[in-house]
Amino acid sequence: MVDILHRVGIEASVDEVYTALTTIDGLSGWWTDDTSGDTNVGGVLEFRFELGGFDMEIQTLEPAERVLWQVVDGPEEWIGTKVSFDLRQEGDYAMVNFKHEGWREPVEFMHHCSTKWAVFLLSLKSLVEDGKGQPAPRDVKIDNFN
């Protein structure tokens, strides 16, 4: 099993970041415009992109501390993997420790997704700090298709 790890520090409160991770408005503002679903624990969020998408079951919601999803539909390599955001206030910054864990193999698609997650976490930072993220389809493109 191999994991994608990232961290960003956002000049904001952990509460503001938590809202961006747990509401349809927030998620649509940094990951993809086309976000829908049930935002409660046990609910499924549907994230759609030009080339497909991901369905995430919400497994944990600890206000201002932790969000955990499990992928229940999407690309084969993603199914069963888990995505988590751990939050911690450090002075003026909300530190966000991100993990996308449980990849079976470090396939090339995992390399791509790792870079792409960084792009979207910087979009989350922009959204919370400046009120404006770069969700798909306005995200930073990192190669020939995405």
* Residues within the interface to a second copy (CB under 8 A): 2-9, 11, 90-93, 95, 97-99, 106, 108, 110-112, 114-115, 118-119, 121-122, 125, 140, 142-144
Considering beta carbons, is residue 58 or 125 the nearer one to a second copy? 125
CA–CA gap between residue 100 and residue 110 (Å, rounded): 10
* Beta carbon of residue 33, minimum distance to a second copy (angstroms, whole number): 22
Handedness of CA 3, 144, 25, 79 (dihedral sign): negative
Residue 27: CB minimum distance to a second copy, A: 19
Shorter beta-carbon distance to a second copy: residue 15 or 105: 105
Query: For the chain, how are helix, strand and coil distributed in percent, rounded to 5?
Result: 25, 40, 30
Radius of gyration of the chain (CA): 14
